[in-house]
Amino acid sequence: MAPSTPDRILDALEALLIEGGLTQVTLEAVAAKAGVSKGGLLYHFRSKEALLAGMVRRQSERSDQQFAEAGTSMAEWYLRSADDPAETALYGSLIAVLRSVDGTEGTVKKAVIEAMAAYDDALRAEIGDPVQAEIIRLVGDGVFLASMLGLAAPDPTLYAKVVERLLPKSD
């Protein structure tokens, strides 16, 4: 089944962000890459901000689906998904989007806050200890960021021990 027009538009946006960064993202460039007119893009996303917010929401939905398919705890998924190159590339796109709003209030920032709050809530509910949940979130975020920046990955043996120590023990 062919992707829907909104999905093609969001795919084009992500590709442009990954290939050339936010400076390459204009409504015209996204429309051309998606194979739609600028009017067609604006039919689905009324502004560049709505387009960026749509990408954030779709990334959150993808992450939710990946978690559901992983068959692990939220904490384990959060700590281990940082090794996925596709996830890292999309996380990079999300960082680029965040930089575009630069502290301003609006649709994009609201979408990011909602997505991150959902992860925070799920981790806290699963872990029970808000401090431990926050430590897990921060470690996962740090590994994602390091991977996105091309920094050296943590030693796999050491990182496995970190994950083991952070995850709640099964009774």
The string of pLDDT tens digits covering residues 108-149 is: 888 888 888 888 898 999 998 999 999 999 998 888 888 777
Based on the domain organization, do 25 and 42 belong to the same domain?
A: yes
- CA 152 to each of CA 83, 115, 121: distance values in angstroms, whole numbers, following the listed order: 12, 27, 30
Answer yes or no: is 114 within a domain: yes
Based on the domain organization, do 77 and 135 belong to the same domain?
A: yes
Based on the domain organization, do 42 and 62 belong to the same domain?
A: no
pLDDT of residue 99: 67
Q: Looking at the 3D structure of the chain, how many domains does it have?
A: 2
Based on the domain organization, do 82 and 136 belong to the same domain?
A: yes
pLDDT of residue 106: 79
Per-residue pLDDT of the chain (171 residues; tens, 9 = 90+): 888 999 999 999 988 887 877 777 899 999 999 999 999 999 999 998 899 889 888 888 887 887 788 778 888 887 877 666 666 666 666 676 666 665 566 788 888 888 888 888 989 999 989 999 999 999 988 888 887 777 887 888 999 899 999 986 765
- CB of 15 within 8 A of CB of 5? no
Q: How far apart are CA 166 and CA 85, in angstroms?
A: 23
Residue 75 belongs to what domain range?
53-166
- CA 148 to each of CA 5, 15, 93: distance values in angstroms, whole numbers, following the listed order: 28, 15, 10
Based on the domain organization, do 78 and 2 belong to the same domain?
A: no
**Residues shown for the chain:** 171
CB atoms within 10 A of CB 28: 11
Q: What is the largest CA-CA distance in the chain?
A: 57
CATH number at residue 38: 1.10.10.60
Give this prediction's pTM.
0.74
Answer yes or no: is 171 within a domain: no
Based on the domain organization, do 62 and 135 belong to the same domain?
A: yes
Answer yes or no: is 119 within a domain: yes
